[in-house]
Amino acid sequence: MSLASSIRTIAVWEMNRSMTTMGRGVLPLAAGLLVLLVLVTAFAAESGIHMQDGIYRIGIDDPDVARIVDADTRFTVETVSGPALWNNRFAYDIVVIRGEVYAADTGKGRAALTALKRDYEG
């Protein structure tokens, strides 16, 4: 067996060994990352960080209706007079004027309308 062949064989063994076994520093790092993940998850659950909070803008001309929808954290509710609300209707995902609901012709507007129907219709 030549010297080059021996070096190649040893190099292959070392590469295979290093690719299949973890070093001593990996386990503490993995444990630390697991603890960090648990802490971040607990913090997010406790502090009320939610992806859907205030995702939809809704303009309503009736304060009584606005109070009902305002309890839903998905909606950012603004109470505006009817004419001003209609003039600025493109700034909202949903507009409610005199009990009539108008949704923006966008994906977000349709999703907001679906959420509103599912929870408040009937």
Q: pLDDT (tens digit, 9 = 90+) per residue, 2-60?
A: 888 888 898 888 888 777 777 777 778 888 999 999 998 888 777 766 666 778 999 99
H or E segment at 80?
none
pLDDT digits (tens, 9 = 90+) for 74-105: 889 999 888 888 898 899 999 999 988 999 99
- Sequence-ordered alpha helix ranges (H) in 1-122: 3-20, 26-47, 63-70, 82-87, 107-120
| CA gap 29, 23 in Å, rounded | 11
Q: Where are the domains of the chain?
A: 23-50, 56-120
Report if pTM > 0.75: no
Adjacent-strand bridge partners of 57: 76
